[in-house]
Structure 1
Amino acid sequence: MTSSTVSISSPTYLPSTSSSPVITGHRGFKSKYPENTLLGFEKCFKTGAKVIETDLYLSSDNRVIISHDLNTKRVFVDSEGNETNYKITTTPYDPTLKGLKTKNGNYPLLSFVDLLKWFKNYIKDKDNSNEYKLQLDIKKFNPTKILKYLFLDLLKVHNDIEWWYHRLQFGIWDLNFLKYLNQSEFFQPYFGITNEFGYFQFDIFHISVNWRDSINYINYNYYLDEIVEKERTKIKLTGVSLIYISTWSTEFLTKFIPLLKLQNLKFYSWTINNKFQFEYLIKIGKLAKLIEYGIISDYPDLIQKLKEEEAEETDVSDTETTELKTGSSKEYYYNEDGDIKIELTFKQKLLYWLYLQFTYLNGSQKNIRLQQKLKYDLKVDENKVLENKMNPFVAWAFQTCQKYGVF
C-alpha cells in the first residue's frame, strides 16, 4: 500500500468508502438474532448493510471483549447453563468470561480478536470489501487504556494499521478517550499516514444522547490546532452519533448541523427502526450535504429495503437541486437566515420534550455542564474507570420506551 506523510489541519476531513445513508446493524442484527454474536453479524451483512455496530469492554486481565452490558447477567450463562453475575471490568477473561455462552442460542462471549479474525475472513473475497466496517461502541465505564489493547489486537490480526483505518469507526462517550489518544506516546507512530482511500486516522465518533454535549468535543478539535505543537500528530473527532429523538428539535437543525458542516463531520443516528425515522434523517443528510450520514438500526433488513426503494425513485438528486434553486420545495429548503428548515410534527416536538425530562431526571444536563468545565490539557489517568451512577428507575423507563418504539 502506497502511503505518505500528511500535515493535518482543521477542519479534519475523512472521505467515505460507503454510500450514504450507511446502514449499520445495531449489535449485529439485534431484532432477529442474538446480539453481538457471529451469527448476528453475518446475517446483518447479508441484508446489504455495510457496517456492524458492536460494544467493547476491557476485562481485568486486559482482554478486549464484546458485550453491550457491563454485567453478564442479562445475556450470558456459564457452560452448564447457570445464570451469571460478573462485572466484566473486574473479571478475568481467561478462564472465567471465556467460557460463557448466550442464554439464547448458546453462542460464545466473543473476544475482540475473535471478531476481527471473522471480519477479515468475511470480507477477503468481497469485491466491495473496503465498504465494510466495524463500528465500535467503546463504553465509558472502561479505563482509557482499553484503546491501547484494542490497537494491539488489530495489529495481532493484521499487522498494518493503515489497512484498518477505513474499516473501523471508534465510538466514544467520554472526551478522556480522545484526549488519551493525543496524550499517550503509544499512539503517535500509528497516525498521520494517509492510506490509499485518503484516511490518515480512524473515524472517531462522539456517541451521545444530547447534541449540546458534542459541542465540547468539536471545540477540542480547535484546541488541538491552537495549542498542540505542529510537529505532533493530532487525532481528532470526525463524527457524531446521536440518539434519533435528540435530533427532533429546531435548535438541532439550525445550530448543530452547521457545526457539523463547519468541521466536515460525519453524522450517524440511532436506533432508527421505522420509515418515518428513516425519512427524517435522509432529509437532514441530503439537504445539509453531509459528507457521510448513517443509520444504526435493530432492523438492518428493513432499513436496507427503504434505502433501495428511496434510490429507485425518480432522479431524486436532480429534483432536489431544481427545487432548492427555484424555492418550489415545501419539504426541503433553507430559510432567509440560511438555516435548514424541516417541519417537525407535533408528535416529534412532544416526544422530544418528554425525552428532555428523562435526561434531566437522570442528571445528563448536569453531567454536560461538569464536562464543559474540564480542561483539555489535564492529564488522563489510563487506569481510571468511571462509575455507573444512572438512576435505575430512569434507566428502566427509558429502556422500556425504546422497546416499544416511544424513544
Structure 2
Amino acid sequence: MDALSAKCADLVLSILVCLGAPPLLNSAFLGTLAESSALETDASFPPPRFIRARSEEKSSHGQLPQIIAHRGYNTKFPENSMAAFRGAIEAGAHALETDVRLTRDGVVVLSHDPTLMRCFGVEKKISDCDWEYISGLQTLKEPHESMPRLLDLIEFLAQPDAASIWLQLDIKPDINADEMMSRIAAVFKQVPESPGSPWKERVVLGFWAAKYVPLCQKHLPGFPLVNITFSVAYAEQFLAMDNISFVMMQATLLSPRGRNFIKRAKVAGRQVISWTVNDEYDLDWVVKRKLDGVITDDPKRFVDLMDPSNGKAISASRPLSKIPGLVRINFLVSTFSWLFGWKHGYGIERRFPLFSSRVKTS
C-alpha cells in the first residue's frame, strides 16, 4: 500500500472511532496487530484440552460451556483485584480471565487499562510508574483493593483449594512483547506447581497480535495459545497452525461469517470461547452453538442459569431493541477488518512473515 492509501485508511478508521466504534478499533491498535516475526522452526503448541466445554448429560445439547470470570467477578468487586478473583471462584466459575501490564521496573501487574485513571483515579500510565508506587494505590470502587501482581494471582492459584481453576491471560499488543513474555515466564518459575496440575495444563496464553506466537514458543514452550480477536479475517490465518484456539467477540460470532467460522474451527478441532457474554439470550445462543466457554462479568448468574439441578432451560429471545446495536457493531467490525486487510494484508500468502512455508498447514 502506498503512503497516500495508508493515510486514507487511517483517516477512515479515525472517523469510525468518532462515530462510536469500540475504543480498541483504532489505527494504533490495528497497527500493532500487523507487527509480526518469522518463526525459525515449525510452530508446535499443545491442544488446550482444559478449556473444552463440559460434558453434561442433563443438558439437551450434551455439553455446557465453561464459565470464565471476566477480570474476576467484576460486577461485585473491583475488576482484576484479588477480591474479584476469590469471589469468582466462590461463585462457581471454572476459570479466570485477566489482563497483564508491565510497570516501569518490569513487574507484571493485572490491569485492563494502560493507565491508572479509570480504576484508581490517578492520571498516570502504568508503564511510567514503579511497583512500589502502584502497590500503595486503592481502587475507586468499593471494597477498595490494591492492584495485584501476576505473581500474587499465581500464588493464589497454586493453593489446593484453587487447583481445579484455570487461567486465561489477555496479553495486549501495545506493549514490549519480548520483555512481557520474558517477565511472565519468570513469574511461573517462581511458583511451584500443584501436584498433578502443571501450569501448562492450567494457563492459556491469549494473544491479539501474531508477533506474540514465536515469543510464546521462545519463553513459554509447551503452553497452549488462544487468539483473542474481534475479526474473523484475522483469526482465520491461525487455522493453518496446529492447536491454536480462539476467543472471539460475541457480536462477531453472531454474523453469518462468524457462524461459519465456528463450524470451521470445530472441524479443525479448535476450541471457541465467546466474550463478553452477560445476557441470557446470548448465553442461550452460546449453548445452542456448543461453544466451549463464555467470558462473563457476572459468573454467579451464569452458574445459576446453567445449573441442571434447577430444572430450568436457558431460553430467551433477543429483544428487538438490541438488534440495531448488533448490526452496528458488525458493520464497524467488518469495516475495520476490511481496512486492516487493505492496509496490512491478511493471510499466509501476503503480509504476515510469521506464516511462511516453514509452518505446517492443514
TM-score strictly above 0.5: yes
**What do the CA deviations read for 1:98-134 (whole angstroms, capped 9, x no partner)?**
322211233111111111112212xx146xx33x111
For the 8 Å contact 2:106–2:183, the answer to whether it is kept is: yes
For the 8 Å contact 2:47–2:243, the answer to whether it is kept is: no
SS of residue in 1 equivalent to 2:148: coil
SS of residue in 1 equivalent to 2:177: coil
In 2, Cα distance between equivalents of 1:115 and 1:10: 27
For structure 2, the residue ranges without an aligned partner over 5 or more in a row are 1-41, 55-63, 357-362
Indicate which of 149, 165, 175 corresponds to 1:142.
Answer: 175
In 2, Cα distance between equivalents of 1:259 and 1:311: 34
Q: Which of the pair has more CA radius of gyration?
A: 1
Indicate which of 266, 270, 286 corresponds to 2:271.
Answer: 266
Identity %: 21
Q: Label 1:72 to 1:10 Cα distance change in 2 as closer, same or farther (>3 A).
A: closer
Q: Which moved more, 1:95-104 or 1:14-23?
A: 14-23
In 2, Cα distance between equivalents of 1:297 and 1:139: 19
For the 8 Å contact 1:249–1:352, the answer to whether it is kept is: no
In 1, Cα distance between equivalents of 2:263 and 2:102: 36
Q: Say yes or no: does 1:358 pair with 2:335.
A: no
**What do the CA deviations read for 1:254-273 (whole angstroms, capped 9, x no partner)?**
x3123212321111111111
For the 8 Å contact 2:229–2:235, the answer to whether it is kept is: yes
Paired residues, number: 297
Matched AA of 2:289: I
Residue 133 of structure 1 corresponds to which residue in structure 2? 166
Residue 14 of structure 2 corresponds to which residue in structure 1? none
1:50 positional shift: 1.2
SS of residue in 2 equivalent to 1:175: coil
Matched AA of 1:273: N
Q: Say yes or no: does 1:98 pair with 2:161.
A: no
1:375 positional shift: 2.6
1:377 positional shift: 3.9
Residue 155 of structure 2 corresponds to which residue in structure 1? 117
SS of residue in 2 equivalent to 1:99: coil
For structure 1, the residue ranges without an aligned partner over 5 or more in a row are 1-7, 77-82, 192-200, 222-235, 317-330, 332-342, 380-407
Q: Say yes or no: does 1:27 pair with 2:68.
A: no
Q: Label 1:98 to 1:205 Cα distance change in 2 as closer, same or farther (>3 A).
A: same
In 2, Cα distance between equivalents of 1:280 and 1:87: 38
Indicate which of 212, 226, 238 corresponds to 1:177.
Answer: 212
TM-score (norm 1): 0.65
Residue 64 of structure 1 corresponds to which residue in structure 2? 108
For the 8 Å contact 1:248–1:349, the answer to whether it is kept is: no
In 1, Cα distance between equivalents of 2:352 and 2:126: 30
Residue 297 of structure 1 corresponds to which residue in structure 2? 296
Residue 58 of structure 2 corresponds to which residue in structure 1? none
Indicate which of 43, 50, 66 corresponds to 2:87.
Answer: 43
In 1, Cα distance between equivalents of 2:296 and 2:51: 20
For the 8 Å contact 2:73–2:79, the answer to whether it is kept is: yes
* Pairing of 1:7-406 with structure 2 (within 5 A): 13-16=47-50, 19=54, 20-76=64-120, 83-93=121-131, 95-104=132-141, 105-121=143-159, 124-125=160-161, 129-130=163-164, 132-145=165-178, 146-158=180-192, 163-182=198-217, 184=218, 187=219, 191=221, 201-219=222-240, 221=241, 238-253=244-259, 255-285=260-290, 293-309=292-308, 312=311, 350-359=324-333, 363-369=336-342, 370-372=344-346, 373-377=350-354
Matched AA of 1:148: S
TM-score (norm 2): 0.73
For the 8 Å contact 1:12–1:263, the answer to whether it is kept is: no
RMSD: 3.2
Matched AA of 2:244: T
Q: Label 1:162 to 1:89 Cα distance change in 2 as closer, same or farther (>3 A).
A: farther
**What do the CA deviations read for 1:314-355 (whole angstroms, capped 9, x no partner)?**
9x9xxxxxxxxxxxxxx9xxxxxxxxxxx9997776443211
Higher RCO, 1 or 2 (CA under 8 Å, sep at least 6)? 2
